[in-house]
Each structure stands twice: as structure tokens, then as C-alpha cells.
Structure 1
């Protein structure tokens, strides 16, 4: 596989066999963009700390055993270091030797946060680091889902409050009409009932107008939910 190409959608743990412009082998992983400026043999980054597990510098590691990954922010780390920090095993099945064997089901729990560079806290971007695409996509999808849930709960709570207010208003209107207008209806002629019915209709007309407005809001919210759910569904289907 060429560098930056996904190894059958499963991250590869082998060192890249590409040759850098300087003539030395790439120190990165198969499937990742070659860190040209970080040649392990002739580069100028020997003192950069790349192993956070054993606190080793770039010059102290064996890139055949622990290839490196260059993040979009420009910081370099061993794959072993980053794999643990970003939670690679949260999204991939591994064997007893830690080798990735397949995809994990991501439907049971949400990601804690979007993966970040351990040095500068910049978000890890998919375009620069293929290895962690599944981790990043999952985190982004879950973050959008969390916001969607909060948005939905807020809107539903607002609708519930409006419905309760309308119910109270209708009850108050009917009670007031019954008390002030219809209490003596039995003593009046049938001909006088019709005007009083018109008064009742007019008194609750604003209530019906508000109900119609609320129904429109509910229908619009339903559309908003559907529109916001579609990208989540597409991203979910793409990575699960």
C-alpha cells in the first residue's frame, strides 16, 4: 500500500517501506503520510521526545520496532504512544499480541472527547493522520449527537411549557365564560342563547390561533430533527 492509503480500512502496524528524498527509509507507518522532515537517520529532530511511555527521544527509539506518526500540528510521536492516548483499542478488536484484527461495535457507548495532540492539545485531523480516522470520526459523530440530544431536549421542554400554558388559558377562559355568561342561561329564551355562544367562540378564538401556531412549530421541529439526523446516520453507517 502507498503511504496515506488505508490498509484495507484496518490500521497497519508495519513500518512504511517508502524511501524519502534524502535516500533513507520512511520512519512512519504504512498507510500514513511520510514525515519527510523527520528522517530518523539524517533529520535534525533527535532530541524531540516522541515516546511518552518510556520518555524517550527520537534518537533513542528503534523505528523498526516503534514507527512514528506525524500529526497535523507538526508534533511527532511513536504510534504506540498515540494509540493508547487516543483509544485505538476502543474502536478496533485486537488479539493477545495487540495486533488489530477487526472493527468494534461502536453503538453501545459514546466517545469521551475528540482526540488531541498530547503536546499542544490541537485536535487530531483525519486528513493528516489516516490511522486514527475511525477514532476521530466516532468522536465527532458522538459530539454532534450530544448536541442534537441537548437541542432536542431544550426544544421539547419549550413545547411542553407552551402546551401547559395553552391548557391553563383554555381552562381559565371556559371557567370565566361559564361563570359570568352562562350562569343564567337557563332563565333566558332559546333565542338569546345564540349570541352567548358567539361570545364563547370569540373568546376562545385566540386560543385556537395559538394552537395552530404551536402545531406549526411542532411540525417544523420534526423537520429539523430529521434534517439534523441524516448526516449523523450517514457518518455512523460509514464507520460502524
Structure 2
């Protein structure tokens, strides 16, 4: 089974639908799972106790986890000096601590079976140092640093850890961002055009596959930086 956080909408939902179409068993985690047409549990990944409760449920029901896709995330488009403290805290709590909590809690489920895969989400804003995304980029830079070190810790258990760093992807996360702002970001990519969710799902599908058994501790950019 593949756990996908943020799996009720946006990029997470697209990933769930892709994996299901390929015959994978999927469990989506999200703060709200109403109207989710596949297996899902309500869970705020920024709350360690809630993540632990999900792991307990999985153990009690003898459910084996072969992969975790940490797609849950929030963004804040503000200059650093104008970002309110509560916004800063929430972005870090969800993006960085939420990813760390899920890795800490779900890793033992895979360590017992000596195999598995984590896919964590960063952003092209880290590599490009995008103006107006300092707090968001900081939270995701933390994800990259954690993932590289965690990959080394998990290697002895045949568990791989990689990151995907998309450019602007056409999902609800971009609401409130003008087309001009998106265009300026996209123009800085190696491949200067906007990609859809399928481009991310393609990479997720590849990294979960045994064909990627030699890849760990890497950051894969969508669009390139």
C-alpha cells in the first residue's frame, strides 16, 4: 500500500488517481476526506499524535506499507519581512515538520519488511531562490536536507528516500498567483513552460518502481533549475 499525504485534492489527489489506475493500493491522508472516492483517513500531518494514530491503525489491521508520498503542503507568497509570524509557523509546521513526522512514524513499518520508498516534496523555489517565497523555500529546503540525511539512515533497511521539486504546477495551490508571476518563475526554469500534475505523477510512479532501486537521496526537479 502507498500512503499519499494531502491526497484529497490537488497534486496529492492526482497522484492517488494515477497510482490507483496502475493497480496500486492507496491510502490518502488529509485534514478532510469528505467526498474522497478511495481509501482515506482524516489526518493533519502537522499533528504528531494524529500521524501516530494512523500508524497504530495500520499495525492493528496488519496493513503493509511499501511507500509514502509526502505531498501535503501549503504555500505563502509574501516577502519575508511582511510574512506574519503565525503564517511562518504554519508553513514550517505543515511542510517541514509534517514531512519529518510522517517519515519518523511510517519508517518502522517499512523497516520491518526491509524495503520501501519515501517521496518528499520540495519546490523549484529552493534552487532559484525566488523573491516572495522565502519562508516557503526555507521550509522546503529543510525537507531537502532532511531527506538527504534520512536516505543515509534508511539505506541499511533497503528504504529509498528522494525528493521531487516542481515548478509551478496547475493546481489550486496557485490560486491568487497571477499569470505574470507564474510566467516569471517558469521563464527561469531549464524547460521554460508550465507542467501539469501528470508530469509529477510520472516521476512519482517511476520513483516508486523497482526500476529506481539505485536512486536515493536525490532531488528531481520538474522543469529544471
Q: TM-score, normalised by structure 1?
A: 0.22
Could you state the TM-score of these two structures normalised by the residue count of structure 2? 0.23
Higher relative contact order (CA closer than 8 Å, sequence separation 6+): 2
Greater Cα radius of gyration, structure 1 or 2: 1
